[in-house]
A and B are shown apart, each in its own frame.
Chain A
Amino acid sequence: MIDVMYFAWLRERIGKPKEQIDTQARTVEELVEELRTRSEAHALAFSDIASVRVAIDQDLTDMSASLSGAREVAFFPPMTGG
């Protein structure tokens, strides 16, 4: 089981900040493919993957990253701090 978290417009589109997913996905890309099939809202949120960023266990990474040992995967739009 991994915790999948959503922030900003991804959270709004999916309608929740967090969900627990039982997955066999080996990479972030595979997880995204799986998430897309969960609901129309998920499919919409992940329709433009170029505008989605990802962190594994609170470290920024990319879509090809391995999920081996991951406990928390977060998806969010490009950051707008400062």
Chain B
Amino acid sequence: MSVRVQSQPFDMGQEVQAFSVATRGAGAIVTFSGMVRDEGGTLSRMEIEHYPGMTEKALAKIRAEAMDRWTLTDALIIHRHGALEPGEQIMMVATASRHRKDAFEAAEFLMDYLKSRAPFWKKEFTADGSDWVTSKQDDEDALKRW
């Protein structure tokens, strides 16, 4: 499966291993993983809400666009939802290509689009209560370069 939305943790090592076997001969694999920050020890947990149905559709569309724009052997997106603790992996992307430039660029493209075009909403919990993470103008601006 090239796009996965799940609440349970994933093993990045295993995922990259399986991905590299499946894309054998690609020559270049780029991976990125986003983790829950501990914000200097103040963050107790994070909850990620999503829109079941639309999420899978949006991720598949973003992946298809990357496959279309760069010469890729394959691309993988895994994104979690539900309750996560500091240090846990939230998501990962992997791209495989014959040459590194396509793999790097496509991975950055996937990340930029995941940030503001995939229906996930993060809520942070601290000793003082909880707050929805607000989107940043930088994230919106990042899309303009593609």
Asked if B119 and A7 sit within 8 Å, CB to CB, the answer is: yes
**Which B residues, 83 to 139, have Cβ-Cβ distances below 8 Å to chain A?**
90-91, 111, 114-123, 132-135
A1 at the interface (CB under 8 A from B): no
Residues of A within 8 A of B58 (CB): 60
Main SS of chain B's interface residues? mixed
Establish whether residues A58 and B121, one from each chain, have CB atoms under 8 Å apart when the complex forms.
no
Distance (whole angstroms) from the CB of B38 to the closest CB of chain A: 18
Note all chain B residues with C-beta closer than 8 A to A7.
49, 51, 119, 121
CA distance A5 to B49 in the complex (A): 13
The answer to whether the Cβ of B18 comes within 8 Å of any Cβ in the partner chain is no
- Which residues of B come within 8 Å of A, CB atoms? 34, 49, 51, 53-54, 57-58, 79, 90-91, 111, 114-123, 132-135, 140
Interface size class of A (residues with CB under 8 A): 10 to 19
Question: B111 contacts which chain A residues (CB < 8 A)?
Answer: 82
- A8 cross-chain contacts in B, Cβ below 8 A: 49, 121, 123, 132
Do A81 and B49 have beta carbons less than 8 Å apart? no
Is there contact, CB below 8 Å, between A81 and B79? yes
Report A1-42 CB contacts with B as 1/0, cut-off 8 Å. Answer: 000010111010000000000000000000000000000000
Enumerate the 5 nearest inter-chain pairs by beta-carbon distance, A residue then B residue, closest first: A78-B135, A81-B120, A8-B121, A58-B54, A81-B118
Contacts of A82 in B (CB 8 A): 34, 90-91, 111, 114-115, 118, 120
Contact between A58 and B49, CB atoms less than 8 A apart: no
